[in-house]
Amino acid sequence: MPIIKRFAVPVFTAFSLVLVASVVLAVPEAQSRSTSVSATLQSFKIKLKKKSAKRGTVTFKARNKRGRHNICIRGKGVRKCAKIVTTGKKTTLKVKLKKKGTYTVFCSVSNHEELGMKTKFKVR
């Protein structure tokens, strides 16, 4: 009997932890998903580490390698820009993308978009 007791407690504890962990992890995911996408800006290119995300909050964390740039997104009734930064600085664009489809990520400074600072981003 003492052997069973010795095992019963750790097994119960482990089971409880799994149960608690699954509840903690499941709740925020069910309510809204969030994705972080790293990006680099330079004259005149935008590179995204991820090309797509599931619907929810998407945070683009952009590092400006060279020039004076920002990062913006438009599509499906959304248009939002992060603040403009200079070489070596970071700028973050946090946006709620509720609709599936293709969005355009671009730089709104001057004519940078026409010069090539744009790329596609998909929401699944």
**Contacts with Cu ion, residue ranges (CB under 5 A):** 69, 107, 109, 112, 117
Using the minimum distance from each CB to Cu ion, give the nearer residue, 69 or 93: 69
The nearest distance, CB 106 to Cu ion, in angstroms, is 8
The nearest distance, CB 76 to Cu ion, in angstroms, is 23
The nearest distance, CB 25 to Cu ion, in angstroms, is 38
Dihedrals φ, ψ of 86, to 5°? -100, 180
Using the minimum distance from each CB to Cu ion, give the nearer residue, 117 or 123: 117
**Residue 12: strand, helix, or coil:** helix
Query: What strands, in cross-sheet order, belong to the sheet with 101-106?
Result: 52-53, 118-123, 101-106, 72-75, 78-81
Using the minimum distance from each CB to Cu ion, give the nearer residue, 39 or 107: 107
